[in-house]
């Protein structure tokens, strides 16, 4: 989505910024294949920052246990990448309809020296006048899709015929059930007693790490079928499939304060 909007804004010239991927090492292989094809077709510069490098450098500590995830660790890698490349803004695809804490997010969202978000002291945003000023060491997170809903995004994808990673569509996959969600069988988790691998027809509504992104049972193989399913859905996309939002009542708020995307 963001890439398509950037093409609309800057083509036929190149983007005035590179693309950045924070690679946790726990991505779906389909995600990486999609990323590489996208970047190749675009001819834009991609920077990959690896969470593994942050761990090796002692900047981040791997979680342990059967529910270990690198979700929280990637904040360290992201903030380091922003500092190393001297970015004054990072453009992201977050939307306000995704989650409670995000409903209060600005389009141009200020982050202090520590990369932290302070929801009680945000710059007021009026009309379509955005304040993009930052001091050295600070940066902005910019969310052009703030006012889009999940359904808006799908409609736009259909309208623009934007190619997607294959796992957004229904496919056969080996999964196991944990905490009421289906997870893809993957090399980064150990099954707990009582958990068993089974084969199901599933698709993903959001794509994060394999360790914390759940699948939904779905027969939707085409874009139109996906849109019909999204329109009828009675559970939010993050509520349905994201273990990372479930830790505490204010899980997203806490992570955003730390500098999470």
Partner 1 sequence: MTAALRQTVGLADDSELLRFTTAGSVDDGKSTLIGRLLYDTKTAFEDQLDHVADVSRRRGDERVNLALLTDGLRAEREQGITIDVAYRYFATTRRKFIIADTPGHIQYTRNMVTGASTAHLAIILVDARQGVVEQSRRHALIASLLRIPHVVFAINKMDLVGWSEARFEEIAAELRAYVGELALPAVTFLPLSALTGANVVERSAEMPWYAGPTLLDHLETVPLDEEREIGARFPVQWVIRPQSTSADLHDYRGYAGTLAAGELRPGDEVVVLPGGRTTRISKIEQGGIALAVAFAPMSVTIHLADDVDVSRGDTLASPQRAPRVEQELEAMVCWMSERPLVAGGRYALKHGTRSTRAVVSAVDYRLDVSTGARHAEDGGRLALNDLGRIRLRAMAPLVFDAYAENRTTGSFILIDEATNATVGAGMLLAPAS
Interface positions with partner 1 (CB under 8 A): 7-14, 96-97, 100-104, 119-120, 122-129, 131, 133-135, 146-147, 149, 151-152, 155, 158-159, 224, 227-228, 231-236, 239-240, 249-250, 253
> Closest Cα partner for 230 from 149, 143, 144?
149
By C-alpha distance, which of 214, 221, 199, 204 is closest to 245?
214
Q: Smallest distance, Å, CB 257 to partner 1?
A: 10
Task: Considering the complex, state which of residue 14 and residue 199 has its C-beta at the smaller distance from partner 1.
Answer: 14
Q: Where are the alpha helices (DSSP H) in the chain?
A: 2-10, 29-42, 51-56, 74-84, 150-160, 223-232, 237-241, 251-258
Q: How many CA atoms within 13 Å lie on the side-chain side of 254?
A: 10
Q: How far apart are CA 179 and CA 173, in angstroms?
A: 18
125/258 with CB nearer partner 1: 125
Q: In the bound complex, what is the minimum distance in angstroms from residue 163's beta carbon to partner 1?
A: 16
Q: Using CA atoms, how far apart are residues 15 and 42, in angstroms rounded to an integer?
A: 10
Q: How far apart are the first and last CA of the chain?
A: 16
In angstroms, what is the minimal distance from the CB of 35 to partner 1? 23
Integer Cα distance of 196 and 32 in angstroms: 27
Query: In the bound complex, what is the minimum distance in angstroms from residue 156's beta carbon to partner 1?
Result: 9
Taking the complex as a whole, the smallest distance from the CB of residue 48 to partner 1 amounts, in Å, to 25
The nearer residue to partner 1, 22 or 140, going by C-beta atoms, is 140
Nearer to partner 1, 82 or 252 (CB): 252
User: Which CB, 192 or 228, lies closer to partner 1?
Assistant: 228
For 172, phi then psi, to 5°, come to -80, 135
CB of 187 to partner 1, least distance (A): 29
- Return the number of the residue (14 or 83) whose C-beta is nearest partner 1: 14
Q: How far apart are CA 210 and CA 15, in angstroms?
A: 30
Q: Which is nearer to partner 1, 70 or 256 (CB)?
A: 256
Q: Work out how close the CB of 50 gets to partner 1 at its nearest, in angstroms, rounded to a whole number.
A: 31
Q: Is 180 left (phi over 0), alpha (psi -120 to 50) or beta?
A: left
DSSP lists the bridge partners of residue 202 as: 171, 217
């Amino acid at each position: 989505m963001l890439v398509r909007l950037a093409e609309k804004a800057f083509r036929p010239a190149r983007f005035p910024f590179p693309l950045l991927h924070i690679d946790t090492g726990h991505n779906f292989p389909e995600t990486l294949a999609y990323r590489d094809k996208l970047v190749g077709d675009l001819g834009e510069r991609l920077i990959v920052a690896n969470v593994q490098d942050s761990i090796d450098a002692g900047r981040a500590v791997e979680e342990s246990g059967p529910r270990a995830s690198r979700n929280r660790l990637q904040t360290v890698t992201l903030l380091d990448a922003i500092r190393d490349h001297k970015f004054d803004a990072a453009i992201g695809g977050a939307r306000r309809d995704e989650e409670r804490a995000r409903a209060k997010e600005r389009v141009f969202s200020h982050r202090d020296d520590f990369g932290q978000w302070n929801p009680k002291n945000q710059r007021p945003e009026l009309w379509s006048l955005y304040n993009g000023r930052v001091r050295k060491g600070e940066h902005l997170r910019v969310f052009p899709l703030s006012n889009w809903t999940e359904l808006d995004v799908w409609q736009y994808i259909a309208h623009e015929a934007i190619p997607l990673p294959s796992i957004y569509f229904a496919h056969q996959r080996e999964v196991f059930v944990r905490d009421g969600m289906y997870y893809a069988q993957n090399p980064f988790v150990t099954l707990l007693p009582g958990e068993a691998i089974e084969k199901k027809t599933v698709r993903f509504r959001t794509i994060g790490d394999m360790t914390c992104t759940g699948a939904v049972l779905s027969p939707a193989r085409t874009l139109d079928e996906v849109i019909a399913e999204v329109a009828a859905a009675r559970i939010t996309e993050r509520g349905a499939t994201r273990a990372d939002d479930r830790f505490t009542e204010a899980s997203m708020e806490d992570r955003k304060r730390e500098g999470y995307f």
